[in-house]
Amino acid sequence: MRMSCAQEQLSRGLAIVSRAVGGRTTLPVLNNVLLASDGERLKLSATNLEIGITTWVAARVEAEGQLTIPARLMADFVNSLPSGQSVLLDANTRTHTLHLQCARYNANIKGIDAEEFPPIPSADDRPTIKLRAGLLKEMIGQVAFSAARDESRPVLAGVNLRLDETKLVLSAADGFRLAKREAALEQGWPEKLDIIIPARALTEVARVLEDGDEDVEVTVTPNRSQVLFRLRAPTGEINLVSRLLEGQFPDLERVIPKTHTTRVGLKRAEFITATRIAALFARDAANVVRLDITPGGEGGLTPGSVALSANALEVGDNRGEIDAAVEGDETYISFSSEYLSDVLGVLNTEEIVVEMTGPLSPAVVRGMGLSEYTHVIMPMHTVR
């Protein structure tokens, strides 16, 4: 294999695939990036067996071939090279050594035979769904954080992706909260699709996606064991493959409350500030933040309010009050400050709506005017 490509492009490509480089030493080849000639391009691949990322860099190919090279050293070396220069890659497949040359810098890096690199499936010509990259990125951001972080119930560590002819639904739940985001589709999916993707893999997808209008193509392998995201960005193509989680995702629809007795509308910025302050005290008090909701008086002439408070026995306490449009009953409810700040962090509407039915029932948090998104938080309470 002998080819040359631009330093900037090679450096960027290595940075992208490095996200999938495994840290485990049991299989040394997983610490490596696969370099392969692919037509008039250089293909870069890395995998940790959970996810695999492949990207392509324009190259002038003089001789075809492939080799794997320690990803970290390769990326650090290429990153340090002067920009605007072309990098020559010359692999000796017999000694598994890659010779690099750029300007007056020369290096030889010892690698591992490409045959040892685990195969990463490609999309080929299977049916795909096209999504807008920016939308998918936003949806993942609003949902994936609600997935369980431990593996005690494996399906909950994943994000449920459902597709039908009209819409795409992503949902996740960790047992104490759930997030669901829908998006209408112009071009639907011919058959119903219902898969569970590890939240960690989706987070990586969101990371490589850009906030643009480019298309992302989503494909599932025929045996439904892997999902593939193919992004065609102006800077190059990126493929991300993830294994799928097996199992039945719980039906979350029936958990989402359909009614409420109190509805509160708040300014998001104020809500975030009050939550952040309360969290300072809550972190020493089981993270409990209490919301006291008071409806406005005199037929709406005086505004209602929400008071956020936290009380840590050995640290101190605080109480912050913000104006709110309150419909319905006066009530109170306690949440984990983490859960509250997590959801406030992913909503981008100016106003937030909280719907609740008393202190011991699930509460729904939405963005005002963002009907596609639903977040449910289970309250906390103190037992005697």
Residue numbers at the binding site for other proteins (CB under 8 A): 148-150, 152-153, 156, 173-178, 250, 252, 255, 280, 283-288, 313-315, 336, 360, 362, 376, 378-384
Q: Enter the DSSP assignment of 368.
A: T
Half-sphere exposure of 54 (CA within 13 A, CB side): 21
| Gap between the Cα atoms of 173 and 158, Å rounded | 9
Comparing CB distances to other proteins, the nearer of 58 and 360 is 360
Q: How far is the CB of 288 from other proteins (least distance, A)?
A: 6
Residue number with CB closer to other proteins (209 or 279): 279
Nearest residue (CB) to other proteins, 270 versus 284: 284
With contact defined as beta carbons under 8 Å apart, do 264 and 293 qualify?
yes
- For residues 157 and 150, the answer to whether their CB atoms sit within 8 Å is yes
- 103 near 182, Cβ under 8 Å? no
Nearer to other proteins by C-beta: 193 or 256? 256
CA pair distance 235, 240, nearest whole angstrom: 16
CB of 256 to other proteins, least distance (A): 10
**Min dist. Cβ of residue 362 to other proteins (A):** 7
First to last CA, the chain: 72
Question: Which residue's CB is nearer to other proteins, number 206 or number 252?
Answer: 252
Minimum gap (Å) between residue 23 Cβ and other proteins:
10
Name the 3-class secondary structure at 144: helix
Q: How many Å apart are CA 310 and CA 122, to the nearest integer?
A: 51
CB of 382 to other proteins, least distance (A): 5
CB of 289 to other proteins, least distance (A): 12
Please, is 341 exposed, middle or buried when counting C-beta atoms within 10 Å of its C-beta (0-12, 13-18, 19+)? middle
> 100 or 310, CB closer to other proteins?
310
CA triple 341-346-259, angle to 5 deg:
80
